[in-house]
A = this chain, B = another copy of it.
Amino acid sequence: MKLYDFALAPNARRVRVFMAEKRLEIPVVEVKVRDGAMFEEPYRSMNPFAVVPFLELDDGTCIGESVSICRYLEELHPAPSLMGRDPRERALIDMWNRRVELDGYLPVMHSLRNADPAFRGRVVPGTRNDLVQFPEIAERGRDMLLILLERLDAQLSDGRFLAGGTFSIADITGYFMILLADRTGVPIPDDRPNVARWYEDVAGRPSVRDSS
Contact = CB atoms under 8 A, between A and B. Distances in A.
A75 B75 CA distance: 14
Nearest to A98: B65
Contacts of A184: none
A72 interface: yes
Nearest to A88: B61
Q: How many copies does the complex hold?
A: 2
Given A90-B71, A147-B127, A65 B99 contact: yes
A102 interface: yes
A63 B90 contact: no
A157 B88 CA distance: 37
29 contacts: A48-B154, A48-B155, A49-B103, A49-B151, A61-B88, A63-B88, A63-B91, A63-B95, A65-B94, A65-B95, A65-B99, A67-B94, A67-B98, A68-B95, A68-B98, A71-B91, A72-B87, A72-B91, A75-B91, A76-B87, A106-B106, A124-B144, A124-B147, A131-B140, A131-B143, A134-B134, A134-B136, A134-B139, A137-B140
Interface of A: 48-49, 57, 61, 63-65, 67-69, 71-72, 75-76, 87-88, 90-92, 94-95, 98-99, 102-103, 106, 124, 127, 131, 134, 136-137, 139-140, 143-144, 147, 151, 154-155
Which 10 residue pairs of A and B lie closest in terms of their CB atoms, listed nearest first? A72-B91, A75-B87, A134-B136, A68-B95, A136-B136, A68-B94, A65-B95, A65-B98, A63-B91, A68-B91
